[in-house]
Amino acid sequence: MAIYIGEKIFIKNFGFYVDCIQNRDFFLHYADSDLLKDVTRYSRQELEVACEDFSNIIGSSSDSVVYKGTMKGGPEIAVISLCNQEEHWTAYLELYFQKEVADLARLNHENIGKLMGYCVEATPLTRMLVFDYASNGTLSEHLHCEEGCQLSWTRRMMIVIGLAKGLKYLHTEIEPPFTISELNSSAIYLTEDFLPKLVDFESWKTILTRSGNNFRSIGSEGAAMCVQPSSLEERHLDVEGNIYAFGVLLLEIVSGRPPVCKDKGVLVDWAKDYLEEPEKMALIVDPALKHFRDEDLEAIREVVAICIHLRPRDKVNMEELSRMLESKLDTTGSSELKASSLAWAELALSS
């Protein structure tokens, strides 16, 4: 249903009205709906102050910029800002933005980055997502920079189990399920206690892609068209892609190698020979690690082989993979403590 007041159109959709302005054969608009009534809305000024005039950039792409900030008297935040010009902002983009905010806001798990709120302003055109920031940087930084030595074998196993639990929650414990748009070590943030947090910083791409598909289908239907809920694409669900990416992440965590590097090429291709011969699997372990547990490594090998389809089997899910890892991995650090004690004893005997 559309209600006309002067040059404005109020379009009923998803139980709310969207305030639109006609512009040729499509409309640009500003919206504030009941869909987001339970999600905190921040002003641009609040976020600008928190992010030091948006100077503290911690990531960027052609579609978005990520800022780090600190709310007054509150937590550290990560703010994702969409790079889009007002003349290119369509009704479909607005609706998809609101759906994405609502979708992210429903996620609640200790291994998933928490959406704290959003920002919507007309001048300048502002569309932002505000996440709780895990202050220990990304998993990628810890694995591939000098800080990698901080990730002991036990910490790596704890991260593996945290990631498995987070993906199990997203895939099997909420309805509808949710998948991470681009699952890699740069999408995993670590807390001070090295608890992993999955953050979908690439969710903007799903908004732009789905909106683009709808916009191309508009054709020449004219300016005053009512956007029907049935015309909006659902969020792309790629469970199989997430499971494959999880397998690659396990290899990356154990080996300390990036998914692609100059000397070894593609990580999965390099690792296949070792995965197929258990007795050689120890050769894949990050040389920076002084100790590791053989039983843990074998469990990782089994799960990776399933994830990257080396082992033919029926369709697998994260609930099963998480159960396998939780039952077999040791996160107590007992093996490292034992190895350390033996090393001290040997040193004492030799002195």
Angstrom distance (rounded) from CA 31 to CA 95: 8
The residue behind tokens 């490594």 is 297
Mean pLDDT score, 26-55: 80
Task: Confirm whether 347 is domain-assigned.
Answer: no
Do both 64 and 32 map to the same domain? yes
Least-confidence region, from 11-15, 32-36, 48-52, 110-114: 11-15
Do both 161 and 249 map to the same domain? yes
Percent share of the chain, pLDDT over 70: 74
Mean pLDDT score, 93-98: 85
Q: Which two tokens stand for residue 129?
A: 């997502």
Task: Confirm whether 349 is domain-assigned.
Answer: no
Do both 278 and 322 map to the same domain? yes
317: CATH: 1.10.510.10
Domain containing residue 315: 154-179+238-338
pLDDT digits (tens, 9 = 90+) for 215-232: 444 443 444 345 554 556
| Residues in a beta bridge with 29 | 20
Do both 68 and 23 map to the same domain? yes
Please state the domain count of the chain: 2
Contact call for residues 210 and 233 (beta carbons, < 8 A): yes
Task: Confirm whether 51 is domain-assigned.
Answer: yes
Q: CA nearest 207: which of 244, 240, 181, 245?
A: 181
Residue 205 has pLDDT above 90, yes or no: no
Task: Confirm whether 221 is domain-assigned.
Answer: yes
Q: Which two tokens stand for residue 316?
A: 């697998």
Q: Name residue 274's amino acid.
A: Y
Helix (H, G, I), strand (E, B) or coil at 255: helix
Task: Give the CB-side neighbour count of residue 282, counting CA atoms within 13 A.
Answer: 7
Least-confidence region, from 93-102, 242-251, 337-346: 337-346
Query: For residue 325, what are the contacts with CB-CB under 8 A and spacing of at least 6?
Result: 160, 161, 164, 299, 300, 303
Dihedral angle, C-alpha 89, 93, 95, 100, nearest 10 °: -130
pLDDT digits (tens, 9 = 90+) for 287-334: 999 899 999 999 999 999 999 987 766 688 999 999 999 999 999 876
Helix (H, G, I), strand (E, B) or coil at 245: helix
Do both 174 and 37 map to the same domain? no
Task: Confirm whether 280 is domain-assigned.
Answer: yes
Do both 107 and 209 map to the same domain? yes
Do both 256 and 329 map to the same domain? yes
Do both 210 and 285 map to the same domain? no
pLDDT band, very low/low/confident/very high, at 211 (cuts 50, 70, 90): low
Contact call for residues 166 and 174 (beta carbons, < 8 A): no
Angstrom distance (rounded) from CA 118 to CA 315: 37
Residue 80 has pLDDT above 90, yes or no: yes
Residue 190 has pLDDT above 90, yes or no: yes
Do both 121 and 214 map to the same domain? yes
Q: CA nearest 199: which of 134, 122, 289, 296?
A: 134
pLDDT digits (tens, 9 = 90+) for 120-163: 998 889 999 999 999 898 999 999 986 556 799 999 999 999 99
- pLDDT confidence of residue 259: 95
112: CATH: 3.30.200.20
Do both 224 and 269 map to the same domain? no
Helix (H, G, I), strand (E, B) or coil at 145: coil
pLDDT band, very low/low/confident/very high, at 209 (cuts 50, 70, 90): low
**Residue of higher predicted confidence among 229 and 203:** 203
Phi, psi of 316 (to 5 degrees): -105, 155
Distances (CA, A) of 326 to 4, 100, 303: 58, 31, 12
Do both 174 and 278 map to the same domain? yes
DSSP 332: S
Do both 254 and 330 map to the same domain? yes
Task: Confirm whether 262 is domain-assigned.
Answer: yes
The residue behind tokens 């479909």 is 92
Task: Confirm whether 191 is domain-assigned.
Answer: no
Angstrom distance (rounded) from CA 16 to CA 64: 27
Q: Where are the alpha helices (DSSP H) in 76-202?
A: 91-105, 139-144, 153-168
Q: Where are the alpha helices (DSSP H) in the chain?
A: 44-50, 91-105, 139-144, 153-168, 203-218, 239-255, 267-276, 294-307, 318-328, 334-350
Task: Confirm whether 37 is domain-assigned.
Answer: yes
Phi, psi of 288 (to 5 degrees): -75, -15
